[in-house]
Chains A and B, each alone.
Chain A
Amino acid sequence: MSAYDIFVEPWASHASSYWPVAAMAFFVTAACGLVGNYLVLRRISLVGDAISHSVLPGIAIAFILTGSRSGFPMFLGALVAGVATTVIIETLHVRSRLKQDAAIGVTFSTLFAIGVILVSVHGGHTDLDLDCVLFGKMDIIMDMPAVFAGLPAVVLTMAAVALAVGLLILLFYKELLVSSFDPNLAASIGIDPRIAHYLLMAVLSIVVVAAFTSVGAILVIAMLILPAATAYLLTDRLWVMMVLSVAHSLLSALGGVHLTVALEVPTAPAAVVVGATLFLLAWVASPRHGLLRLWLRRPAPGGGEPAGEGDTAVA
């Protein structure tokens, strides 16, 4: 493979056929990334991981009952499973001496195990199998009939979900900010932090379900956290963080499609690999919080603080 084959050729010959995949990847990562900002700031990223695992039984049951992979029943099943997860985790760790981390671990692995068994027992369906759980199935979008702007219906649905998430966040920006930063203050000014929490969990469940068919159950956590974490390294303002996380989503979606074509790997893990690379870049080279800056500024071993700064402080 020449450099041309890897970097240019995919865009030259496949651009039009992969347009829906790229759009889908972007909408999924953008919706996840927007919600993810709050998960990272509230330090509950792994609740996102737990929910993305434990919606599987909900999805599987709805699928087995209706035989269809899209539509309302699946949303409902997953929503119920997602909210049940948060409730079970809370119950376990508030009502016993189990700590939150263990409560999360026990809950999501149990539900996920049930989901995997259900999926394997009803194996043989091409629409829902273990491959789908692991890798997601973004490629099948290419075979779907286009409805609007060259995009099939599933992509448009995902676009609507992403837009709705964006609007919700815009609408409740203040409330979410306050309840994430200082739950006590939120409660004192009449915003019930628990309601904010459960609303966020509900939105999270919806996003996770909408993303499920495209990215599977396990990689969702990357879509949720990588954009926000990368943005968090680059800015100190919440709204800038949101904008940057959407930019991160866009870049990783495009890069993911690129890798899909160049290396023949599934789009979802490819997009995560690109997203992780972007995070790595930000980690090393962020102008304010990057490793490079940390290393360059590090005081010489044993030398204490640089002399100039020392003088000002002691005076």
Chain B
Amino acid sequence: MDRSTDPAPGRRRIGSAVAAVAAGVFLASAGEAHAERIGELVQTDPWEQVGRFFDLSDENTRGLRVAFAGALFFGAACGLLGSFIVVRRMALVGDAISHAVLPGVALGFLWGTDKDPVAILVGATAVGLLGALVVDWIQRTTRIKQDAALGIVLASFFAVGLCMIRMIQNGEGAANISGLKTYLFGDIGSLDRADVATMAVVVVATVSLVALLYRPLLAISFDRGFAASIGLPVRVLDGLFQHFLAFAIVVSLQAVGVVLVSALLITPAAAAYLLCDRMHKMLWVAVLIGMLSALLGVFFSFLGNNLPTGPFMVLGASAVFLLAYLFAPRHGRFTKWLRRRARRRKVRDENAMKAIYRILEREGRPEGGVGIAALAAERGMPEAAVLGELHGLGRRRHVELGDGEVSLTAEGLRRARKVVRNHRLWELYLTNEADYAPDHVHDDAEKIEHFLTELEVAELERQLDFPQTDPHGQPIPGLKSV
């Protein structure tokens, strides 16, 4: 086997992940505890609470450190696996699995009389995987489509879980009721060290899985048929992924709740999807957003003592998503709007400068002032509107406004020539190379003149063999003049 490639980067990545987890465990366990859980830290003054939240050295906020570590762990695991879910269009599969684990949680409670994280992990994971299997099975053996299959499994399993929970509550003491309740809407305050330790194990395993098998996972996510055709064990990888997905869901349950845990998988990853164009970057960003959302949830749950944690984490993630949706550098709605606006202004400005240039050209003088009224007539616009545009151009020093007339500056003239040159070259190209009639090419050139790049213009000129005049016989400004 010629191992020409160096496997070290993979090890390094796992190494740094392990270090991060170790730091989290240290955070959770250093020193002697005063309050094990943040739920026990009751304060009435919200500002004092805020102060305590950020004062990690306070001995009384020991429990907060546990919550912190937990939030970082499951936020990371959810972000990591959620990214694959989003790009594979499995978002609602994640939702279905996360609802379907409920009977498993109830079983876990039945197993041990007290809350036992391992029993719950095993029970819930098993039932979650069963749910995924049933979804698959319904689709394969009937004509029911994926959406309905997911709905059936989600709701049926969930209903069974609810019935079991109620039966447990009917049968046993009140201590269990509160324990089970945290699994529905999440209560980070109920996390103890055993829970966080379980999370740490799951997170290390998840990060190792993704670091080790990143490329095969990428391949089956992008193109399953192809991945199978090059001999990747698609079924095994799918099964592995689903197992880890179930683990991540189950360890997050207690803090986020069955009902909303899927949001922590989907939303941070969806935000990352809007922000990134490469999968490996998306993974990092989703992990960061996942951790941030979880921390925001901890913060708010700390402020309001009796509120469930899950919804706040979800809202944290949603807020980040909204920001990404609006302000993502390339795909954001607001960014796109800004770009469109800048483009419209560029077109308007260039048209104004072009009009001035053409008037000068028609009158046969190289430079000088042009009357505002003549310019307005040339552009078919009211004078006031033209004047408004010219003020903007003046500020950018492309024109100089005189008394009732306007003249181009050197820079303005250069830009005007460039646009005219683009326009006429394009008209010529359409007429000569694409066989358009000369009277059909103006409107098209009107649009394209603003967006031709210098490379494209150079190529046009080369193909047209450096022409001097356009199809209407007007001179094309030379390269030197612009």
Residues in chain A within 8 A of chain B (CB atoms): 39-40, 43-46, 48-49, 92, 95-99, 101-102, 104-106, 109-110, 112-114, 116-117, 120-121, 123, 130, 134-135, 218-219, 221-222, 224-226, 228-229, 232-233, 259, 263-266, 268-270, 272-273, 275-276, 279, 283, 289, 291, 294
7 tightest A-B CB contacts, nearest first: A222-B155, A109-B263, A272-B159, A276-B156, A113-B311, A105-B266, A113-B314
For B318, list chain A residues within 8 Å (CB): 106, 109-110, 113
Q: Is the CB of B166 within 8 A of A49?
A: no
| B265 (CB) vs chain A CBs: closest residue | A105
B217 CB to closest chain A CB (Å) equals: 18
For A104, list chain B residues within 8 Å (CB): 91-92
A134 CB to closest chain B CB (Å) equals: 6
Q: Is the CB of B151 within 8 A of A121?
A: no
Q: When chains A and B are docked, how far (Å) is the Cα of A67 from the Cα of B311?
A: 23
B side interface size, CB within 8 A: 56
A75 CB to closest chain B CB (Å) equals: 24
For A268, list chain B residues within 8 Å (CB): 159
Q: When chains A and B are docked, how far (Å) is the Cα of A11 from the Cα of B310?
A: 41
Contact of B333 among A95, A113, A134, A229 (CB under 8 A): A95
For A102, list chain B residues within 8 Å (CB): 86, 89, 91, 266, 269-270, 273
Other than the given A45-B151, A102-B269, A222-B158, 16 more pairs (CB < 8 A) read A102-B273, A105-B270, A106-B266, A106-B270, A110-B315, A113-B315, A130-B184, A219-B158, A222-B156, A224-B151, A233-B142, A269-B158, A269-B160, A270-B163, A279-B152, A279-B156
Q: When chains A and B are docked, how far (Å) is the Cα of A68 from the Cα of B205?
A: 50
B109 CB to closest chain A CB (Å) equals: 16
7 contacts between A and B (CB under 8 A): A44-B147, A97-B274, A98-B270, A99-B91, A109-B260, A116-B259, A265-B166
Residues in chain B within 8 A of chain A (CB atoms): 86, 89-92, 94-95, 99, 138, 141-145, 147-148, 150-152, 154-156, 158-160, 162-163, 166-167, 170, 184-185, 259-260, 262-263, 266-267, 269-270, 273-274, 304, 306-308, 310-312, 314-315, 318, 321, 325, 331, 333
- Secondary structure at the A interface, as helix, strand, loop or mixed, is helix
Contacts known (A98-B270, A276-B152); A116 close to B142, Cβ less than 8 A: no
For A135, list chain B residues within 8 Å (CB): 162, 166
Q: When chains A and B are docked, how far (Å) is the Cα of A92 from the Cα of B306?
A: 33
Q: Is the CB of A229 within 8 A of B148?
A: yes
Q: Is the CB of B91 within 8 A of A113?
A: no
Q: Is the CB of A226 within 8 A of B156?
A: yes
For A269, list chain B residues within 8 Å (CB): 158-160, 162-163, 166
Q: Is the CB of B145 within 8 A of A43?
A: yes
Q: Is the CB of A294 within 8 A of B152?
A: no
Q: When chains A and B are docked, how far (Å) is the Cα of A39 from the Cα of B166?
A: 30
A-B contact count (CB 8 A): 197
B468 CB to closest chain A CB (Å) equals: 46
Q: Is the CB of A221 within 8 A of B307?
A: no
Q: Is the CB of B185 within 8 A of A45?
A: no
Q: Is the CB of A134 within 8 A of B184?
A: yes
Q: Is the CB of B147 within 8 A of A43?
A: yes
Q: When chains A and B are docked, how far (Å) is the Cα of A275 from the Cα of B159?
A: 10
Q: Is the CB of B156 within 8 A of A273?
A: yes
| B274 (CB) vs chain A CBs: closest residue | A96
Q: Is the CB of B156 within 8 A of A272?
A: yes
Q: Is the CB of A226 within 8 A of B266?
A: no
Q: When chains A and B are docked, how far (Å) is the Cα of A268 from the Cα of B154?
A: 15
Q: Is the CB of A105 within 8 A of B95?
A: yes
For A130, list chain B residues within 8 Å (CB): 184-185, 308
Q: Is the CB of A265 within 8 A of B163?
A: yes
Q: Is the CB of B162 within 8 A of A266?
A: yes
For B306, list chain A residues within 8 Å (CB): 120, 123
Q: Is the CB of A289 within 8 A of B143?
A: yes
Q: Is the CB of A46 within 8 A of B92?
A: yes
Q: Is the CB of B152 within 8 A of A229?
A: yes
Q: Is the CB of A105 within 8 A of B158?
A: no
| A291 (CB) vs chain B CBs: closest residue | B141
